[in-house]
Amino acid sequence: MHEDQLELVKGNLLEHMRQLFAEIEEGMARTHEEKFALLEDAVNTASDFDELKVAFEQWHLDHAGDVDLEYEVEEIWDAVLNGMKS
């Protein structure tokens, strides 16, 4: 009986952790969606190239840490500009 209980507890532990991870992922997805919406708002208010860069830099400063974005603002900006040259 002891071994049956052990297996039951193992299964319950794994299922519980799977549910916790799913909840964490859902929370992260909501956070990312909210931060992206804020980025969209910031980008849409820019009327020229310089305003766009400033808006993005400000968004990055305010929110990149919240979503653990591991790229510096210049890395992202350069990647965007380099992507346009293709």
Q: Which long-range contacts (CB under 8 A, 24 or more apart) does 46-55 make?
A: 53/77
pLDDT exceeds 70 at position 86 = no
Give 12-71 pLDDT, tens digit per residue.
999 999 999 999 999 999 999 999 999 999 999 999 999 999 999 999 999 999 999 999
Contact (Cβ atoms closer than 8 angstroms) between residue 56 and residue 42: yes
Instruction: Tell me the pTM.
Output: 0.78
